[in-house]
Amino acid sequence: MTIDEILENFALLDDWEDRYRYVIELGKALPALPDELRTDANKVRGCASQVWLASDLIPGAAGRVLALQGDSDAHIVRGLVAILFALYQGKSPAEA
């Protein structure tokens, strides 16, 4: 899902509870994070919930692009991770 699609869907929701549920649904759509990426190096420090973010640069059509993976034990944070990925997944470091 692109960030534009997320913004369009978010704009259709008037109630903050519906928006909250939508963010949680975005998180449910994230692929599972492999256990080998749940390391201290990938753990986000200072967050009240447990969050892991892993990144890599892979070959893309216009050079190297970001490949992101992540997870959280909190549903809403997992949804925020999904939004982050919609912003940056597949972009070059210069675009990010």
Q: What is the dihedral of CA 78, 82, 84, 86, to 10 degrees?
A: 180
DSSP state of 43: B
Is 47 labeled as catalytic in the residue annotation? yes
Half-sphere exposure of 40 (CA within 13 A, CB side): 0
Report yes or no: 89 and 67 within 8 Å, Cβ to Cβ: yes
**Which is the catalytic residue, given 7, 13, 47, 96?**
47
Phi/psi for 21 (5° steps) reads: -60, -35
Residues serving a catalytic function are 47
